[in-house]
A and B are shown apart, each in its own frame.
Chain A
Amino acid sequence: MITAVAEEKEHYLNASYGLKSWLLTKDHKRIGLLYLATITFFFFIGGAFATLIRLELLTPQGDLVSAETYNKLFTMHGVVMVFFFLIPSIPAVMGNFFLPMMIGARDLAFPRLNLLSWYLLVIGGLFAIFAMVAGGVDTGWTFYTPYSTTYSNTWVIATALGIFVAGFSSILTGLNFIVTVHRMRAPGMTWFRMPLFVWANYATAIIQVLGTPVLAVTIMLLFCERVFHIGLFDPALGGDPVLFQHLFWFYSHPAVYIMVLPGMGVISELIAVFSRKAVFGYAFVAFSSVAIAVLGFLVWGHHLFVSGQSLYAGMVFSFLSYFVAIPSAIKVFNWTATLYKGSISYATPMLYAFGFIGLFTIGGLTGLFVACLGIDVHVTDTYFVVAHFHYIMVGGTLMAYLGGLHYWWPKMTGRMYPEGWAKISALVIFLGFNLTFFPQFILGYLGMPRRYHVYPDEFQVLHVLSTAGASVLAVGYLMPMVYFIWSLKYGKVASANPWKAPGLEWQTASPPPVHNFDVMPVVRNEAYDFSTTVGEAVEVG
């Protein structure tokens, strides 16, 4: 036993042992795994809420849970999934683990701040869990006033404070990434040699740092209104309820890009590595991330087309919203063009990348419908919108997250996941997802409003299809959970670079040593130059 340990090379997982070595770690890789455990926990809580919602909607009557409970379920599903899963997901897990490695750094710029960010997410999460256990909250994740400030008698304050605290986790992570990208790049790692995953996380970090403080301010105002009745949002106190919507969406629309941009970064990596081609139009893809980050701040008013804001405001916001379509389209076209004359592997991460492109395309194109004033009046606050944003958030971000997790799993754990099972689960998730959410587009256009506990009979067939899809989807999500854990002990031992990928994170051992690289890397090639890692001449250990 002792000799076996002595023979094993030291890496970040076996360098030290014990709870303390994890809870006080400053290693970005270990913090990445702490985030992984945390958000996986929240993902399954949010998923459990979703399951109950879909079961309730199997029949038009409210027969499984009461109206109060149903309202709490969709609220907590949204709060947990948005603030405690999607927003941290890719940046906090994969960005934390791989952003420093991809630019040849030993760690993030501020390792202690990084650990603090994780604790803030956990503390925020504890507030949210307290609110759920104590009785839940029923305002919808959007907390619209004056319902949330004056009328709801549920745990609004505890939930809002949880989001407030978790927001600082997001701000500090973004700050850390920005400084790291500016200051910690290895020699030769110029801006235009950076992997597109780094570009995407950099653009995301800009939104996190500039946008999240507005959320913090909004939550504080909500808090003051609810506790001290200061009269900002409730007309009975002299306030304006639509003001809250402006403030809320000023953060929460850019937050959509906090959730999806890192996923786009993952997809750029996957498409390049599994077709062994440099991403087509690298600079266009890189700048389209920044363009989305900037434009994302100018379109919040498209959530308010029927709120009573002026017709001209509606017109301006619709016009600006269409500009977001251009960088999004550029990405999709460039990913597709990257496949041209590639060497395309069907490994699981690539299946997720294909899935992402398909589902994000549908999600993005239906975004054109909701940005269209004449259509949005009819479909806003219906299941059409529910379907649209789940295609972006689940079909996009979650597919990218799972694709990235499979891709980097060998590096993170030193073990391969079981390829056969992984392919099956990717297929199950893709089919389950479409069966769940595609019928909701039709439901929405038919007029089924969102957040309805009971509904007219004529919508039942589509709801049954959606619930059936959700059951398939649930199975699809449980499979990776099982085989990832299984692989930790029984998975094939991974080599340093099982995909023959050119990224710096693959030019070191799996799992990586504590300081990432035994020899400080010097970068001489552009990103995605496969000539150094593929071919007869190259031997990969």
Chain B
Amino acid sequence: MQFPLMPVQASTISGEVDHLLYFLLAVAVFFIVVIFAAIFYFAIRYRRRSDAELPEPVHGSVPLEILWSVIPFGLTMVMFTWGASLYFRMNRPPDNAVQIYAVGKQWMWKLQHMEGQREINELHVPVGRPIKLTMTSEDVIHSFYVPAFRVKQDVLPGRYSTIWFQPTKPGKYHLFCAEYCGTKHSGMTGWIYVMEPQEYQAWLGGGAAAGSLADNGQKLFQDLACANCHKLDGTGRGPNLAGQFGRTIQLSSGGTVAFNEDYIRESVLQPAAKVVSGYQAIMPTFQGLVTEEGLVQLVEYIKSLTPASGSTPPGGSGVTPPPDKQAPNQRQTQPSVGTSTPGNR
């Protein structure tokens, strides 16, 4: 029967989390020993010998109070700083991370690779490369938890959250849902398979993937008739989406929004929420017409759209104009792309 005391370390961050744990454990054990020893010593040394005993009162000591406030405070600030810096690194995926999408639903994990492979309750990843998951939920809150990697992130309905890790050891590791999500919560588990790079390439090639995420997204973009208005030459009734990902967009309400995964998702489901400056709120909602997985494909497709080189002068797309160069209501007129390049990576 297995009886481990520490979980395996299988990511770049896991050893660092354990180091921090050992520091906290050392502090905790030190204080536990001090307190327990003092209690035992005093309880025996000063045990009551007669019922008429009346000890001399001792009222306190301000220097002692200061001492035993300042020392713990100093130690907790070390814990805070160390923990916070680790937390920041845990939450900042490197730019070169392999992108994977996850959708949680009662009670399974659905995962999609960029190349189009889909998995349920299993995730295959290469060793030694940072992996970034963009996750959402179809129903309630779930939480993506891999103890061997020491990472966890709640997966929320209605928005994307991300988690990243860099596996260091090939093997098979538990994937748990860590946020209670209903009847079969404890069945919402799976496995992360960390593979050698060449093995991973073989695995990627082996599956019968029906096109990359962006290819599927492009197909959806046509099927849902998105392309009728979001024309790639900028002449449509909706804004041209090419090259917009990652930019800051002027809104007709006067504010701005970051053109990111969440904004694309929101604009498909609630088009009137944040309308691009210069456009009418005429787009219908696609709520109920497109699944979370479909949304992920659309996101990847829109991310893959790049303006044709040379056809769009800097700042000329009409979506992120410098305020002094373009009136807020000016429609964009320049043609931007002729062809999209889905899946170019």
Closest to B44 in A: A344
Of the listed stretches A41-49, A514-522, A530-538, name the one at the interface; the rest are far from the partner chain. Answer: A530-538
- Find chain B residues with CB under 8 A from A374 CB: 16-17, 20, 82-87, 90
Q: How far is the CA of A62 from the CA of B154 in the complex (A)?
A: 25
Nearest chain B CB to A397 CB, angstrom units: 19
Q: Which of B7, B90, B186 contacts A455 (CB 8 A)?
A: B186
Stretch of A165-173, A319-327, A411-419 at the chain-chain interface: A319-327
Q: Which of B35-43, B115-123, B196-204, B205-213 contacts A (4 or more CB under 8 A)?
A: B35-43
Is the Cβ of A365 less than 8 Å from the Cβ of B28? yes
Is A402 on the interface with B (CB-CB < 8 A)? no
- Nearest chain B residue, comparing its CB with the CB of A444: B147
Pairwise interchain contact A68-B54, C-beta atoms closer than 8 A: no
Given known A322-B76, A380-B152, contact A140–B159 (CB-CB < 8 A): no
Known A-B contacts A308-B153, A458-B2, A534-B54; A144 and B68 likewise in contact (beta carbons under 8 Å): no
Contact in complex: A358, B36 (CB < 8 Å): yes
Chain B interface helix/strand/loop/mixed: mixed
Most chain B CB inside 10 Å of its own CB: which residue of A306, A455, A458: A306
Find out whether the CB atom of B145 lies under 8 angstroms from the CB atom of A241: no
A242, A341, A373, A450 interface centre (most CB from chain B within 10 Å): A373
Does A490 count as interface, using CB distance less than 8 angstroms?
A: no
Residues from chain A with Cβ under 8 Å of B7 in the complex: 445-447
In the assembled complex, how far is the CB of residue A20 from the closest CB belonging to chain B, in whole angstroms?
A: 43
In the complex, are the beta carbons of A373 and B83 less than 8 A apart? yes
Q: Which residues of B contact A456 (CB under 8 A)?
A: 174, 189
- Decide: A343 and B46 in contact? CB cutoff 8 A: yes
- Interface residue from A346, A452, A500, A531 paired with B47 (Cβ < 8 Å): A346
Task: In the complex, identify which listed stretch (B58-66, B95-103, B323-331) lies at the interface while the others stay far away.
Answer: B58-66
Measured CB to CB, the closest approach of chain B to A405, in angstroms, equals: 22
**Hey, which chain A residues are within 8 Å of B76, CB to CB?**
322, 325-326, 368
- CB of B183 within 8 A of CB of A357, answer no
Q: Report yes or no: B43 in contact with A315, Cβ–Cβ below 8 A.
A: no
Q: Bound state CA distance, A343 and B21, in angstroms?
A: 39
Residues of A within 8 A of B60 (CB): 280-284, 334, 337
**Digit string of B116-160 for contact with A (CB within 8 Å is 1, else 0)?**
000000000000000000000001110101011011111011110
Nearest chain-B residue to A330 (Cβ)?
B69
Interface residue B180 (Cβ < 8 Å from any Cβ of A): yes
Q: CB-defined interface of A308-350 with B at 8 Å, one 1/0 digit per residue?
A: 1001001100110010011001101110110111111110000
Give CA–CA (A146, B189) in the complex, Å: 21
| Beta-carbon contact of B32 and A315 below 8 Å | no
- Contact (Cβ within 8 A) A534 B53: yes
Q: Which of A81-89, A206-214, A270-278, A476-484 contacts B (4 or more CB under 8 A)?
A: A270-278
Contacts of A382 in B (CB 8 A): 178
* A332, B32: Cα distance in complex, Å: 11
* Nearest A-chain residue to B140, judged by Cβ: A147
Q: Are A342 and B42 in contact (CB under 8 A)?
A: yes
With a CB–CB cut-off of 8 A, which chain B residues contact A365? 27-28, 31-32
A524 to B150 CA separation, bound complex (whole angstroms)? 59
Main secondary structure of the interface of A (DSSP, over half): helix
Of the residues B48, B83, B150, B152, contact of A343 by C-beta under 8 Å: B48
- Measured in the bound complex, the distance between the Cα atoms of B280 and A274 in whole Å is 78
Q: How far is the CA of A357 from the CA of B36 in the complex (A)?
A: 9
Q: Interface size of B by Cβ–Cβ distance < 8 Å?
A: 89
Q: Which residues of B contact A315 (CB under 8 A)?
A: 84, 87
| Closest chain B residue to A279, Cβ basis | B60
| In the assembled complex, B161 has its CB within 8 A of some CB on chain A | yes
Verify B139–A449 contact, CB threshold 8 A: no
Are the CB atoms of B159 and A343 closer together than 8 Å?
no
Task: Confirm or deny: A460 has a beta carbon within 8 angstroms of a beta carbon on chain B.
Answer: yes
Whether B54 pairs with A308 at a CB distance below 8 angstroms is no
Picked from B28, B83, B85, B187, the residue with its CB within 8 Å of the CB of A366 is B28
- What residues of B have a CB within 8 angstroms of the CB of A457 in the complex? 2
Q: Find residues 134-148 in chain A having any chain B CB closer than 8 Å to their own CB.
A: 138, 140, 144, 146-147
Residues of A with C-beta under 8 A to B182: 71, 138, 147, 151-152
Closest to B76 in A: A322
Across chains A and B, the number of contacting residue pairs, with CB separation under 8 Å, is 287
Q: CB distance A340 to B58 under 8 Å?
A: yes
B186 touches A368 (CB 8 A): no
Chain B residues near A445 (CB-CB < 8 A): 6-7, 21
CB neighbors of B among A233-265 (8 A): 234-236, 238, 240-242
B181 at interface, CB cutoff 8 A: yes
Please give, as numbers and ranges, the residues of chain B lying within 8 Å of A62 by CB-CB distance. 186
B68: A residues at CB distance < 8 A: 329-330, 333
Residue A377 at the B interface, CB < 8 A? yes
Q: B139 to A151, Cβ gap below 8 A?
A: yes
Does B233 count as interface, using CB distance less than 8 angstroms? no
Instruction: Tell me if A10 is interfacial: C-beta within 8 Å of chain B.
Output: no
Contact B161 A308 (CB under 8 A): yes
- Tell whether A235 pairs with B158 under 8 Å between CB atoms, given A281-B65, A377-B151: yes
**What are the residues of chain A within 8 A of B72 when measuring CB–CB?**
325-326, 329
A321 to chain B, nearest CB (A): 9
Contact B176 A447 (CB under 8 A): yes
A12-31 residues with Cβ-Cβ distance < 8 A to B are none
Chain B residues with CB under 8 Å of A369's CB are 21, 24, 28
A318 lies within 8 A of B141 (CB): no
CB-contacts of B8-28 with A (<8 A): 16-17, 20-21, 24, 27-28
* B53 and A452 contacting across the interface, CB-CB below 8 Å: no
Compute how far the CA of A307 lies from the CA of B143 in the bound complex, rounded to whole angstroms.
9
Given A358-B39, A458-B4, check contact A381 B153 (CB 8 Å): no
The contact of B1 among A138, A366, A449, A461, by CB within 8 Å, is A461
Q: How far is the CA of A376 from the CA of B80 in the complex (A)?
A: 11
Residues of chain A contacted by B43 (CB below 8 angstroms): 339, 344, 346, 354
Q: Give bound CA distance, A371 to B150, whole Å.
A: 16
Chain A residues whose CB sits within 8 angstroms of the CB of B51 once the complex forms: 500
A375 & B4 in contact (Cβ 8 Å cutoff): no
Chain B residue, CB-CB nearest to A144: B141
Q: How far is the CA of A330 from the CA of B161 in the complex (A)?
A: 40
Residues from chain A with a CB closer than 8 A to the CB of B157 are 146, 234-236, 241
A454 within 8 A of B: yes
Among B32, B47, B183, find the residue whose CB has the most chain A CB atoms closer than 10 A.
Answer: B183
A144: which of B147, B180, B183, B189 is its contact (CB, 8 Å)? B180
Q: When chains A and B are docked, how far (Å) is the Cα of A211 from the Cα of B320?
A: 46
9 more A-B residue pairs beyond the given contacts A346-B43, A375-B24, with a C-beta to C-beta distance below 8 A = A235-B156, A241-B156, A275-B46, A284-B65, A308-B153, A368-B76, A377-B90, A447-B7, A456-B189
19 residue pairs A–B, Cβ–Cβ below 8 Å: A147-B141, A147-B180, A308-B154, A314-B87, A340-B42, A341-B56, A342-B42, A365-B28, A368-B24, A369-B21, A371-B79, A372-B79, A374-B87, A375-B20, A446-B147, A447-B145, A456-B189, A458-B4, A461-B3
B: residues with CB less than 8 A from A are 1-7, 16-17, 20-21, 24, 27-28, 31-32, 35-36, 38-39, 42-43, 46-49, 51-61, 64-65, 68-69, 72-73, 76-77, 79-80, 82-88, 90-91, 106, 139-141, 143, 145, 147-148, 150-154, 156-159, 161, 174, 176-187, 189, 270
5 nearest A-B residue pairs (beta carbon)? A447-B147, A235-B158, A374-B86, A373-B87, A372-B83
